[in-house]
A and B are shown apart, each in its own frame.
Chain A
Amino acid sequence: MSIDFGRAFEIFTENWSLFSFGIQNTLLFALVGTVVGLLLGLVTGALRAIPEDPMDSAFVKVLKKIARFVVGFYVWFFRGTPMMVQALFFFYLLRPVLGWTGFSAGLIIISVNTGAYMAEIIRGGIQSIDVGQSEAAKSLGMTTMQTMLSIIFPQAIKNTFPTIGNQLIVNIKDSCMLNAIQVTELYFQSSSVAGSNMRYAEVYFLEMVMYLVLTTVATLILNAMERKINQTKTVTIKDHCA
């Protein structure tokens, strides 16, 4: 049981182009998955969080019920099964129809999967906001949509930002499951390098270091963003309120 660090470094430099291609894809899948997942989560989370409005027509009420049921099923299914199994199932199920590659299937699966988690995060974020905020918006005559976009979402996203950011970290790592449908991300590339060099411990050591670098950099960026978001505008107090 030992790691030949010298050999590991050689493998790293010799195969850098393969690794860097994998890193690019890992970052691409993590970013797309998180951003598209967040958008999906905003819509689905809002659908789950919006209370029934007694002023709605019967038609809208039924529509909302159906939407809530569909979203509930979506969250239940995608949170309740492993992403790797989802990827395999939908890739093979829909390939004859869509003729898609693992790459495009992977982008969609990771987004839809993340969306299910985001739905719950956003729902919690919306429900944590004081009902007075939307009542005030209503009292000005703002529509539900205007209220959501201008008042509720910005606050919900700000409050849940650390949890949303956490999904990016999760996705950097969990995108490795997409190797099952031939997505050439970091794990996939590392495995081929490991196989062709017959040096498993060394390559997986390298791989872990690379994942750690990615997640650390992502964490630092997220922390900086969080600080920026939490900066409230400075109060400029003039003349009469000494």
Chain B
Amino acid sequence: METIIQVQHLKKHFGSLQVLNDIDFEINKGEVVTIIGSSGSGKSTLLRCINLLEIPDGGKILYKDTDILSGKLSLTEYRSKVGMVFQSFNLFANKSVIENCMIGQVKVLKRSKEEARKIAMRHLESVGMESFADASSVRLSGGQKQRVAIARALCMDPEVLLFDEPTSALDPEMVGDVLEVMQKLAKEGLTMAIVTHEMQFAKDVSDRVIFMDQGVIAEQGTPQQIFEDPQQERTKQFLSRYFDR
């Protein structure tokens, strides 16, 4: 199995707070990895370190065996291959829906506008947002924005797509739409790493679940192992808050 991202001994602190403490894990091609854990456990920071929105204080991140911090790989090229979907959508407010999906293709991948438009339309269709192509991105609902954000990331043909709590800022009735899109992508074989609080979704969609606690990976395994037979006391405690209510 081809490893796309390999994280080794990753460390990150904010001031005196050690957010990530010696993290080791990998993302393999075609795999869906979900990262769960309580707020402040370091899940989002881990994801943000992977595409260098946060700069690690120690350790290595290998992209197909090349250390991304070594300077051998151009940062912009690397980032174009590692897509990111944010909790707060972050659609470009001065761009329409289709322009949001085209700008990266034109500026970074140097595609022609016609080609970029075609590809953008295809991905907008796959998330069910094609009829909003010319709409201003600020006028959409949260669920619509997030689906456009996913399409925008897909337009770059990423090797792996990182999701940072993609449904946490959504109204409950919109969560389903976004999860449905992500489920579809998972089935199509897209490599994904997802930080989420949606436990049922994590259970359904993941190949592997990582439970983080206080800056370390406390436990990882298949959804069955983690959700049905957790070994660690803290994993059990965390999950009981979701499932035993």
Contacts and interface: CB of A to CB of B under 8 A. Distances in A.
Given A130-B90, A158-B94, A140 B108 contact: yes
A139 B49 CA distance: 12
Contacts of A130: 88, 90
Interface string B139-154: 1000000000100110
A146 B107 CA distance: 8
Interface stretch (B129-137, B185-193, B206-214, B230-238): B129-137
Contact of A139 (B53, B94, B107, B134): B53
B131 A239 contact: yes
Contacts of A154: 94
Contact of B135 (A55, A235, A239): A235
A233 B93 CA distance: 12
B84 interface: yes
A212 interface: no
Contacts of B108: 140-142, 146
Contacts of B77: 141
A227 interface: no
A240 B138 contact: no
Contacts of B201: none
Contacts of B134: 233, 235-236
Contacts of B83: 139-140
Nearest to A150: B103
B76 A143 contact: yes
Interface residues of B, number: 39
Contacts of A81: none
Interface centre among B79, B81, B94, B104 (most CB of A within 10 A): B94
B156 to A, nearest CB: 6
A133 B53 CA distance: 12
A155 B135 contact: no
A54 interface: yes
Given A138-B53, A142-B107, A237-B132, A133 B90 contact: yes
B107 A235 contact: no
Contacts of A55: 52, 55, 75
A62 interface: no
B45 interface: no
B86 A132 contact: yes
Interface residues of A, number: 29
A238 B156 CA distance: 27
Interface string B77-101: 1111111101011111111100000
Contacts of B103: 140, 142, 150-151
Given A139-B79, A140-B108, A141-B79, A235 B93 contact: no
B89 to A, nearest CB: 8
A138 B54 CA distance: 12
Contacts of A237: 131-132, 135
Contacts of B82: 139
Interface string A144-155: 001000110011
A97 interface: no
A138 B82 CA distance: 11
A136 interface: yes
A71 B108 CA distance: 30
Contacts of A133: 90, 92-93
B35 to A, nearest CB: 17
A138 B53 CA distance: 8
B152 A140 contact: yes
Given A142-B103, A236-B134, 10 more contacts: A133-B93, A135-B53, A135-B84, A136-B90, A138-B79, A139-B83, A150-B92, A151-B92, A151-B103, A232-B136
5 closest residue pairs by CB, A with B: A141-B80, A140-B104, A132-B90, A139-B84, A136-B90
Interface of B: 51-53, 55, 75-84, 86, 88-96, 103-104, 107-108, 131-132, 134-136, 138-139, 149, 152-153, 156
